[in-house]
Amino acid sequence: MIHRAFLLYLLLLVGCANVPPVPQPVTRPPQTEYVPFVLSGRIAVQHDGNRSLSGVRWMHRAETDEILLLAPLGQTMARIRSDMQGATLDMPFKHYVAKNADELTQQVLGWSLPLSGLRYWVLALPAPKGAFDIEHDANGQVMLLSQDGWVIRYTRYAVQTPDSLPLRLAMQRDGLEIQLLIDEWEI
Protein backbone atom coordinates (compact mmCIF):
# COMPACT_ATOMS: atom_id res chain seq x y z
CA MET A 1 0.00 0.00 0.00
CA ILE A 2 2.86 2.40 0.83
CA HIS A 3 4.48 1.66 -2.56
CA ARG A 4 1.23 2.53 -4.39
CA ALA A 5 0.86 5.77 -2.43
CA PHE A 6 4.48 6.69 -3.14
CA LEU A 7 4.03 5.89 -6.84
CA LEU A 8 0.86 8.01 -6.96
CA TYR A 9 2.74 10.85 -5.24
CA LEU A 10 5.57 10.63 -7.80
CA LEU A 11 3.09 10.66 -10.70
CA LEU A 12 1.44 13.77 -9.26
CA LEU A 13 4.82 15.49 -8.92
CA VAL A 14 5.77 14.63 -12.49
CA GLY A 15 2.41 15.91 -13.69
CA CYS A 16 3.02 19.24 -11.92
CA ALA A 17 6.53 19.70 -13.26
CA ASN A 18 7.06 22.51 -15.68
CA VAL A 19 7.54 21.45 -19.25
CA PRO A 20 10.44 23.39 -20.75
CA PRO A 21 9.27 25.79 -23.43
CA VAL A 22 9.92 24.88 -27.03
CA PRO A 23 12.44 27.40 -28.37
CA GLN A 24 10.86 29.69 -30.94
CA PRO A 25 12.83 30.34 -34.10
CA VAL A 26 14.49 33.73 -33.95
CA THR A 27 13.46 36.06 -36.73
CA ARG A 28 14.95 39.29 -37.92
CA PRO A 29 13.26 42.32 -36.34
CA PRO A 30 11.62 44.73 -38.80
CA GLN A 31 13.77 47.69 -37.65
CA THR A 32 17.39 46.55 -37.50
CA GLU A 33 19.41 49.77 -37.35
CA TYR A 34 19.77 49.91 -33.55
CA VAL A 35 18.60 46.45 -32.54
CA PRO A 36 21.13 44.81 -30.21
CA PHE A 37 21.98 41.17 -30.73
CA VAL A 38 24.19 38.46 -29.34
CA LEU A 39 25.30 35.51 -31.40
CA SER A 40 27.33 32.50 -30.40
CA GLY A 41 28.92 29.99 -32.71
CA ARG A 42 32.10 29.09 -34.51
CA ILE A 43 34.27 30.91 -36.98
CA ALA A 44 36.80 29.59 -39.49
CA VAL A 45 39.19 31.88 -41.30
CA GLN A 46 41.34 30.88 -44.26
CA HIS A 47 43.96 33.35 -45.48
CA ASP A 48 47.23 32.86 -47.37
CA GLY A 49 47.10 29.09 -46.91
CA ASN A 50 46.58 29.38 -43.14
CA ARG A 51 43.38 28.20 -41.50
CA SER A 52 42.23 29.04 -38.00
CA LEU A 53 39.17 27.93 -36.07
CA SER A 54 37.65 29.27 -32.89
CA GLY A 55 34.45 29.73 -31.01
CA VAL A 56 32.91 33.18 -31.22
CA ARG A 57 30.55 35.23 -29.08
CA TRP A 58 29.55 38.60 -30.53
CA MET A 59 27.65 41.16 -28.47
CA HIS A 60 26.41 44.01 -30.65
CA ARG A 61 24.86 47.17 -29.21
CA ALA A 62 23.97 50.43 -30.99
CA GLU A 63 27.39 52.02 -30.41
CA THR A 64 29.53 49.12 -29.21
CA ASP A 65 30.65 45.72 -30.47
CA GLU A 66 32.49 43.13 -28.45
CA ILE A 67 33.71 39.94 -30.07
CA LEU A 68 35.22 37.14 -28.03
CA LEU A 69 37.26 34.47 -29.80
CA LEU A 70 37.15 31.31 -27.73
CA ALA A 71 39.32 28.21 -27.38
CA PRO A 72 37.65 24.77 -27.60
CA LEU A 73 37.02 24.67 -23.83
CA GLY A 74 35.56 28.19 -23.79
CA GLN A 75 38.55 30.24 -22.61
CA THR A 76 38.82 33.68 -24.19
CA MET A 77 41.79 33.76 -26.60
CA ALA A 78 41.14 37.28 -27.88
CA ARG A 79 38.72 40.13 -27.25
CA ILE A 80 37.91 42.73 -29.90
CA ARG A 81 36.06 45.81 -28.72
CA SER A 82 34.93 48.54 -31.08
CA ASP A 83 33.07 51.80 -30.43
CA MET A 84 33.02 55.41 -31.63
CA GLN A 85 36.43 56.10 -30.00
CA GLY A 86 38.22 53.25 -31.79
CA ALA A 87 38.97 49.57 -31.52
CA THR A 88 41.06 47.41 -29.22
CA LEU A 89 42.21 43.83 -29.41
CA ASP A 90 43.34 42.12 -26.23
CA MET A 91 45.12 38.79 -26.07
CA PRO A 92 47.08 37.35 -23.16
CA PHE A 93 49.92 39.81 -22.46
CA LYS A 94 49.16 41.87 -25.61
CA HIS A 95 47.05 44.97 -26.23
CA TYR A 96 46.49 46.61 -29.62
CA VAL A 97 44.67 49.84 -30.52
CA ALA A 98 43.49 51.22 -33.88
CA LYS A 99 40.96 53.63 -35.37
CA ASN A 100 38.46 50.83 -36.19
CA ALA A 101 38.13 47.05 -36.24
CA ASP A 102 38.98 46.80 -39.94
CA GLU A 103 42.38 48.49 -39.41
CA LEU A 104 42.99 46.68 -36.14
CA THR A 105 42.51 43.18 -37.53
CA GLN A 106 44.55 44.07 -40.63
CA GLN A 107 47.38 45.29 -38.39
CA VAL A 108 47.34 42.34 -35.99
CA LEU A 109 46.05 39.40 -38.03
CA GLY A 110 47.03 40.38 -41.56
CA TRP A 111 43.43 40.45 -42.80
CA SER A 112 40.57 42.89 -42.30
CA LEU A 113 37.39 42.05 -40.40
CA PRO A 114 34.68 44.22 -42.03
CA LEU A 115 32.79 44.90 -38.80
CA SER A 116 30.90 47.94 -40.13
CA GLY A 117 29.24 45.82 -42.83
CA LEU A 118 29.25 42.53 -40.96
CA ARG A 119 26.76 43.78 -38.36
CA TYR A 120 24.19 43.91 -41.19
CA TRP A 121 25.40 40.94 -43.20
CA VAL A 122 24.94 38.50 -40.28
CA LEU A 123 21.27 39.58 -40.32
CA ALA A 124 21.12 38.83 -44.09
CA LEU A 125 20.81 42.54 -44.89
CA PRO A 126 22.95 44.86 -46.99
CA ALA A 127 24.71 47.66 -45.13
CA PRO A 128 22.85 50.96 -45.63
CA LYS A 129 25.86 52.65 -47.23
CA GLY A 130 27.28 51.38 -50.49
CA ALA A 131 26.02 49.64 -53.58
CA PHE A 132 25.09 45.97 -53.36
CA ASP A 133 23.75 43.03 -55.37
CA ILE A 134 21.41 40.55 -53.75
CA GLU A 135 19.86 37.23 -54.79
CA HIS A 136 16.94 35.51 -53.05
CA ASP A 137 15.87 31.87 -53.15
CA ALA A 138 12.33 30.57 -53.73
CA ASN A 139 11.49 31.14 -50.01
CA GLY A 140 12.46 34.80 -50.23
CA GLN A 141 15.63 34.30 -48.18
CA VAL A 142 18.89 35.93 -49.16
CA MET A 143 21.23 33.37 -50.67
CA LEU A 144 23.90 35.73 -52.05
CA LEU A 145 24.87 39.28 -51.13
CA SER A 146 27.74 41.23 -52.70
CA GLN A 147 28.87 44.50 -51.15
CA ASP A 148 32.14 46.41 -50.68
CA GLY A 149 34.07 43.74 -52.57
CA TRP A 150 32.76 40.95 -50.32
CA VAL A 151 30.66 38.03 -51.55
CA ILE A 152 28.50 36.57 -48.79
CA ARG A 153 26.76 33.21 -49.32
CA TYR A 154 23.99 32.12 -46.97
CA THR A 155 23.66 28.34 -46.83
CA ARG A 156 21.44 27.69 -43.80
CA TYR A 157 18.66 29.50 -41.96
CA ALA A 158 16.81 28.81 -38.70
CA VAL A 159 13.48 28.28 -40.53
CA GLN A 160 12.23 28.60 -44.10
CA THR A 161 10.69 32.08 -43.88
CA PRO A 162 11.94 35.31 -45.48
CA ASP A 163 12.59 36.97 -42.09
CA SER A 164 14.49 34.04 -40.56
CA LEU A 165 18.00 34.66 -39.31
CA PRO A 166 20.91 32.88 -40.98
CA LEU A 167 22.76 30.10 -39.20
CA ARG A 168 25.58 29.65 -41.70
CA LEU A 169 27.32 32.09 -44.00
CA ALA A 170 30.57 32.25 -45.90
CA MET A 171 32.26 35.52 -46.84
CA GLN A 172 34.99 35.84 -49.48
CA ARG A 173 37.22 38.67 -50.64
CA ASP A 174 40.75 38.85 -52.07
CA GLY A 175 41.94 35.38 -51.01
CA LEU A 176 40.29 35.62 -47.58
CA GLU A 177 37.41 33.33 -46.60
CA ILE A 178 35.49 33.66 -43.35
CA GLN A 179 32.90 31.03 -42.46
CA LEU A 180 30.49 31.69 -39.62
CA LEU A 181 28.33 28.99 -38.10
CA ILE A 182 25.81 30.46 -35.65
CA ASP A 183 24.57 28.14 -32.92
CA GLU A 184 22.50 30.67 -30.99
CA TRP A 185 20.88 34.06 -31.56
CA GLU A 186 19.62 36.47 -28.91
CA ILE A 187 17.73 39.51 -30.18
Per-residue pLDDT of the chain (187 residues; tens, 9 = 90+): 544 443 444 344 444 444 444 344 467 666 566 689 999 999 999 998 899 999 999 999 988 999 999 998 889 999 999 999 999 999 999 999 999 999 998 998 888 888 889 999 999 999 998 999 999 999 899 999 999 999 999 999 999 898 899 999 999 999 999 999 999 999 8
**SS3 of residue 143 by DSSP:** strand
At 126, phi and psi to the nearest 5?
Answer: -75, 150
Question: What is the pTM (predicted TM-score) of this model?
Answer: 0.82
Nearest to 145 by CA among 130, 124, 159, 129: 124
Task: Give the span between the Cα atoms of 125 and 122, in whole angstroms.
Answer: 7
Domains defined along the chain, listed by start: 27-186 (2.50.20.10)
Give 84's contacts (C-beta < 8 A, 6+ positions apart): 63
- CA-to-CA separations, 88 to 19, 59, 149, in angstroms, rounded: 44, 15, 25
